[in-house]
Structure 1
């Protein structure tokens, strides 16, 4: 114990840095547990294309209309718990939650998991990471529920 006190006395900045780094690691670990599994944009496209995943965008409407993932369902984080019924029909499908940077969507993943949704993922880095990966976005208010989920092509 005496050696520890001597070390702290001789190297106070190292000791403070140890606590800061330990705190940051603990915070990151707790956030990861709450936010579930984070997927990179390319992994999300695979979930959408191969596993029929639904994307839920939890940003505010003003952010959503500036650009969102095509066919995403818009439910702002502040109203998510009150609108879980809109997601019931997607309970058996993978749900990918997105926001601007991945922070709000991590909270939304926690809410969904707390309410029994099991196959829920966070878009790591949010819509910013999606756009940085040069993946398509669409603008306006249309969401999956308004557009429908199927596209029918008639043969001439």
Structure 2
């Protein structure tokens, strides 16, 4: 059975600093052979050559998708049909993440408008005799609205 390595050992064998190696690992995770999850994750010896190759390809100015395709082809992952499936899944994940990002940006914008509204109300409370109770009611409604998020 092949010896499994820690990430620190993989980075050293690839001739990369840990920070750079982590960046590459996250970017091309599907191509880096590993076992386990989180802190208990261990890497096959081939992971060092994958990270080293990814670093070389980035230095050549290749795009992330091109690099991932080449790394997956370099791994003995079967046939091009399997590679196409992996790339299609990745494309689907990217599309889903973009949708989520759009929704989060919309929600963020909505929350910013609500915070701006409360700040204006607070300024009015400070400058006028407007009822503090009414102001607190607005805050409660605002918090309830956030909790519905």
TM-score normalized with structure 1 length: 0.24
RCO higher in 1 or 2 (8 Å CA, sep ≥ 6)?
1
More strand by share: 1
TM-score normalized with structure 2 length: 0.25
